[in-house]
Amino acid sequence: MKLKNKVPMLISAAALSIGLFAMPSYADEAPYTVTNGNELDATSYKGFKLFRNWCARCHGTYGQGMVGPNLADSLKVISKEQFYDTVENGKSGSIGSMPAWKANPQVMENRDQLYAYLKARSDGAIGVEKPKKAK
């Protein structure tokens, strides 16, 4: 291949590697670890169980959405603080109404676990599938 054909390839390879390098620094802040496709660390696994207990009946078993919105999508948009605040105070909007959870200590004290699981879903680290607890 002539050099003049290689140059655009090199440029796109460089652009790609910048993209790849940008990802780990973002992933470093991830509050979860997923191994073997569906094995969650203890914190996010607890988050999944809590989610199943309290949230799944409206948001779907894996957060994929039902009468409540798809939270894997929501977490791409809302901040951690907004998540904490919405869970504490509830939300009424164009989709419907979610109760406040501030009187429920199990939910309130473990919002970080819920967030960890949903962030793993939102980042695509785990799909719409049953998670296991990593050994």
Chain residues binding ligand HEC by CB under 6 A are 54-55, 57-59, 67-69, 71, 74, 78, 83, 86-87, 91, 93-98, 101, 107, 114
Of residues 109, 110, 107, 91, the one with CA closest to residue 99: 91
| CA gap 132, 80 in Å, rounded | 24
Minimum Å gap between C-beta 66 and ligand HEC is 9
Residue type, 6: K
Minimum CB distance to ligand HEC, residue 118 (Å): 7
Question: Residue 29 CB, nearest distance to ligand HEC (Å)?
Answer: 19
Contact 90, 100 (CB under 8 A): yes
Bridge partners for 35 per DSSP? 39
Nearer residue to ligand HEC within complex by CB, 38 or 54: 54
Instruction: Name the minimum Å distance from CB 62 to ligand HEC.
Output: 13
Helix (H) or strand (E) holding 45: helix 42-54
Which residue, 69 or 131, is less far from ligand HEC as judged by CB? 69
Residue 125: closest CA among 26, 50, 14, 15? 26
